[in-house]
Amino acid sequence: KNIAIFASGAGSNAQKIIDHFRGSDKAAVTLILCNKPGAGVFTIAENEHIPSILIEKERFFKTDDYIQILKEAKIDLVVLAGFLWKVPGNLVQAFPDRIINIHPALLPKYGGKGMYGHFVHDAVIAAKETESGITIHFVNEKYDDGATILQERCTITPDDTPETLAKKVQVLEHKHYPLIVERLLTL
């Protein structure tokens, strides 16, 4: 089974997923797509000898080019890992229930456009929530809106800051995302 990862940043989730399937004869990350030149995920692709593609905005939103690329690469699952663009409808339709995303909060709260990275944890701490966590969900044409696959929670203590919360959430991401990918590929 072939996994494509879409990322925009450091790619720590991408790395964990790559590590999880290392040596597996059932699945592998075979393609990495990123919309941000110089993003850390390109270094990961290089180190792991995985082909990577810099996504261009016009092509992504106005053509089927990336759908063709994914089809030709026989991609079975598209994994968004810190990918900051909304997935266009034609791509969602081309891979029904085969595109997933991880959001560093308990959706439906603290989701939607602009709610990513530290902004999420700032808002959760500011709202004095006593817990946060991750939401792994199917991707549809709206931000952070598809059917939930898994939610995992972590507690927030009074001395937690957005930084310490981000760390707690990242531990959950790195632990659970690879396992959900495996489950969805029915491995």
- Would you list which residues are annotated within the binding site? 11-13, 59, 101
Q: List Cα–Cα distances, 155 to 46, 105, 126, 128, in angstroms.
A: 36, 12, 15, 11
Q: Whose Cβ is closer to ligand GRF: residue 66's or residue 101's?
A: 101
Q: Any catalytic annotation for residue 174?
A: no
In angstroms, give the least distance from the CB of 123 to ligand GRF: 13
Q: Whose Cβ is closer to ligand GRF: residue 12's or residue 30's?
A: 12
Instruction: Please tell me which residue in 103, 121, 137, 176 is annotated as part of the active site.
Output: 103
Q: Whose Cβ is closer to ligand GRF: residue 160's or residue 173's?
A: 173
DSSP 6-54: EESS--HHHHHHHHHTTT-SS-EEEEEEESSTT-HHHHHHHHTT--EEE
Is the peptide bond between 108 and the residue preceding it cis, with omega within 30 degrees of 0? Answer: yes
In angstroms, give the least distance from the CB of 166 to ligand GRF: 7
Between CA 166 and CA 133 the distance in angstroms is 9
In angstroms, give the least distance from the CB of 68 to ligand GRF: 26
Q: List Cα–Cα distances, 171 to 8, 93, 154, 174, 182, in angstroms.
A: 19, 32, 10, 5, 18
Q: How many CB atoms lie within 10 A of CB 111?
A: 20
In angstroms, give the least distance from the CB of 90 to ligand GRF: 22
Q: Whose Cβ is closer to ligand GRF: residue 103's or residue 168's?
A: 103
Interaction site with ligand GRF (CB under 6 A): 7, 9-14, 81-82, 102-104, 116, 173
Which residues form the catalytic set?
A: 103
